[in-house]
Chain A
Amino acid sequence: MRVDFHTVFPLRPARVHEVYGPSSMSFAAMAAAGACLWIRESWHSDTLMPQGLLPIFNPARLLLARPKDQTDALAVAEEALKDGALPFVVIEITRPLNLREGRRLQLAAKAGGTTGLCIIPEGIGSNAAETRWHAAPIFDTQSEDSTLMRWEIKKNKSGTFGAWNVRWDHKTRRVHVVSPVGERPGSARARS
C-alpha cells in the first residue's frame, strides 16, 4: 500500500524531519517555501545562491546562521525551534546525531510548533526523525528547465513508504506530482 503524497508532503508540523541525497537542498527549500532559518556551519565553501532560490520563495525571508561547529549549530537549532518565531528551520548536519540530540530537537520542535529539517549525509540518519526522505534529480526527457526530482520516503514513524516524481511549479509556487512515465496508463511499459 502506498500513502498519498499530500498526507506526507507539507512536512508534518512540530516535528523534525531528515533528508539526504543530491537534491536535498532543493527539497529543503521547497519544503520551507517561506520564512525560514537556515543553519549552516561557517566552514562550508559552497553557498546558497539567492537568485536560485527566487523561483521557490523570496530570499528576503531567509535568515542564515553560521555557527562554527555542530555543537553550536544544534544549540542554535534548538533555540530557534523552541522559539517558534520562524515557522521552519533547516539544519545542515555533518556528523551523526546521537539519540539524545535527536530527541532534544524533536522536543524543541514540539514546544515551539516549528518544523525542522535536517540535511544529512547519506547513512547517518537519527532514530528520532519523524520522516526521512531521499531526494535525487532525474533527467527530464520532455522539457528543458525542469526541476524533475524523485522523492522517496525512506522512514516514516506514522505511515508507510512511498516514492514520487515531483517538479516545482514556478507559477503557482508549489510542488507538482508527476506520475512516473512507466506507470501511466497507455504508456509503453504498461502495455507490454
Chain B
Amino acid sequence: MWFPRLASDRVLRARAVDGPFAITLKSNNTEQIYCLNKRAERLGLTRGMSFADARAFCPDLISQPARPDLDARFLAMLRRWATRYCPWVGRDGMHGLVLDVTGSTHLWGGEAEMLADIQARAKRAGLTLRLGCAGTRGAAWAFAHFGTGKEALTDLPVAALRLEDTTITALQRLGLRNIGDLAEAARAPLARRFGPDLLLRLDQAMGHIPEPVTPETEPPQFATRMSLPEPVGLTEDVMGLTARLLDPLCDKLNRYEMGARHLTLTLRRVDQGSPQVELRLAAPMRDPHRILPLFERGVGEVDAGFGIDQIRLEATQVEPLPVQQIGSAQTSPDQLNDLITRIGTRIGLDNIQRVLPADSHIPERSFTIAPAAFSTPDSAWSCPRPRPLRLFPPEPLAGHGAEPPARFRWRRMSLTTGRAIGPERIAPEWWLPDEAWRSGVRDYWRIETREGRRLWLYHTPQNPGWFVQGEFA
C-alpha cells in the first residue's frame, strides 16, 4: 500500500479545501512543496518546487506547514486499520504499509476482491491509495509505485527496484532501462560497478532472496471499561465499580512493570454527558488498595444526573516501575507520596513544593522551588555566610552614606542599631536581566537592633539607597 498524498490527505480529511492545496516543508533554508493535492498537481505544481514559485504559478494556493510527527501517527493509525485484512502488517518507509496477505485472501473472496475492498474503503476515507500485489515484497512495491495496468515486473523501469538516484541515472546511461534488461545482463560486471546493493534489490524483487515483513507490536493500552445493564448513581456503587476496574488495570500494569501516574475515570451518563475524574499521583503506583481511596474525593463531587451506565478507567500517563525487593533498609516513602497525592487533589499537585539548591550568589536565586511530586530532595546546600530565615521584597529605608544608619524606622517601628556586621558585597549577574538588580552592586549588612530584631539590610552604592530584605532567626 502506498499513500502518495498522505500528508495533504490527512489535513484535508479534517478540513476540506476546494481548490489547490499544498503542504510545505522547510529544507535547505527555503520553503519547498512537500505534498499537494490532485487539483494543485493539475495546475502544474510539482513536489520539491519552491513555495515562492508555486505561489507565483497559482496565487490562490492554500498551504500549511508539514507535520511529520502527525503524519507518522496517522500512518500508525492506518497500520492498525490494515490489520483487518491480515495480521502481518509492517511499515514501509514514511508513506507506505506492507501486508503479508498469504493465506488470508480467501476470507475476502480472492485477491482482486480484497484489493477492491481496500481501495473502496480508502476512497471513502478520502485517501489516495496505490496498491501493488505480488509474490515478493520488492515486486509489490514496484507495482504500487510504478505499475499502471497489466504489465509484467520485467517491463517496469529500474527505478522500481528501490535504488539510489545516482545508481538509477547510471543504469539508464548504460541503456538498462527496465528490470527485464537488468535481469538479463551479466551479474558480475554489475556487482563490480554498483556494489552488492543493486543485485540484492533485484533478487528480492524476483524472489531469489527472501524479504520478510516485520509486523509491529501494539503498544499496551492501559484502560478498562464496563457497561452496565442499569444506570447507577450512588457514590458507593461507583466506587465499587472503580474497584472492579482497578484490579485488571493494576494486573496489566504489573505485567508490564509500569506504574500509573495520571488516571482518568470517565463516567458516561444516561443523558450522554461524561464527567471525568482526574487523579494525578505523586509517584507511579499500581496498588489497587492504595489508588482506590484516592478516588473517593473526586467521585464524590461528580453529578450522576439520571444515572451512569458506562464507566471507563484509563491510565493516561504511565511510568516504568520495576519490581522492588522487600525489606531493604530504606524506609518506604509510600505513605508520604499518598499524602502528597491526597493533598494534591485538593490544592493541585504543583502547589506542594520542596526547595532545591541553585547555583547563584543572588539571594533570591540561590534556591529554587519545585513541585515535590516531580523532584527528588537534594541536600547539597552550602552557605558560607549566614542568611536570613525570611526573605521579603526589598523595603526602602531612610538612610544616607555607606555606613548603616544608627537609627531608622521600619514598618512603623523605630529601631536603633546595636551592632552592624558587614558589608558583604554581592554583584548582580549581568548575564541575566533582572529588574530588581538594575541598581547595581549591593553591600549587605546584618543589623542587630537594640530592640531585638535582627535584619538584613543592603546599601546600593551605585544608586544610593538603603533597603531591608530579610530577617534573621
Contact = CB atoms under 8 A, between A and B. Distances in A.
Interface of A: 22-23, 25-26, 29-30, 42, 45-56, 58-68, 72, 75-76, 79-80, 83-86, 136-141, 144-145, 147, 168
- Tell me if B's interface is mostly helix, strand, loop or mixed: mixed
Given A53-B389, A139-B450, A140-B448, A60 B377 contact: yes
A22 B339 CA distance: 31
Given A138-B452, A139-B449, A144-B421, A63 B352 contact: yes
Interface stretch (B42-50, B126-134, B353-361): B353-361
Given A64-B355, A136-B452, A138-B452, A46 B393 contact: yes
B432 interface: no
Given A45-B393, A50-B357, 14 more contacts: A25-B389, A26-B473, A49-B390, A52-B387, A52-B389, A54-B387, A58-B379, A65-B352, A72-B347, A83-B338, A84-B335, A86-B336, A139-B450, A139-B452
A42 B452 CA distance: 29
Interface string B443-463: 000101111111000000000
Nearest to A143: B419
A64 B369 contact: yes
Interface in B25-42: none
B274 to A, nearest CB: 28
B363 interface: yes
A145 B386 contact: yes
A42 B351 CA distance: 9
A104 to B, nearest CB: 15
Interface string B378-392: 110101001111111
Contacts of A48: 355, 389-391
Nearest to B452: A137
Interface string B265-297: 000000000000000000000000000000000
Contact of A83 (B339, B354, B454): B339
Contacts of A86: 336, 339
A3 to B, nearest CB: 24
B388 A49 contact: yes
B248 interface: no
Contact of B418 (A47, A49, A139): A139
Nearest to A56: B473
Interface in B329-359: 335-336, 338-340, 342-343, 346-347, 351-355, 357
Given A59-B355, A139-B449, A139-B450, A47 B390 contact: yes
Q: Please tell me the size bucket of the interface on B.
A: 35 or more
B351 A65 contact: yes
B241 interface: no
A141 B418 CA distance: 8
A79 B342 contact: yes
Contacts of B470: 49, 52
Nearest to B367: A50
A14 B33 CA distance: 71
Contact of B346 (A59, A60, A79): A79
A32 to B, nearest CB: 13
Contacts of B354: 60, 62-64
B472 interface: yes
Contacts of A47: 390-392
A62 B355 contact: yes
B381 A49 contact: no
Interface string B225-259: 00000000000000000000000000000000000
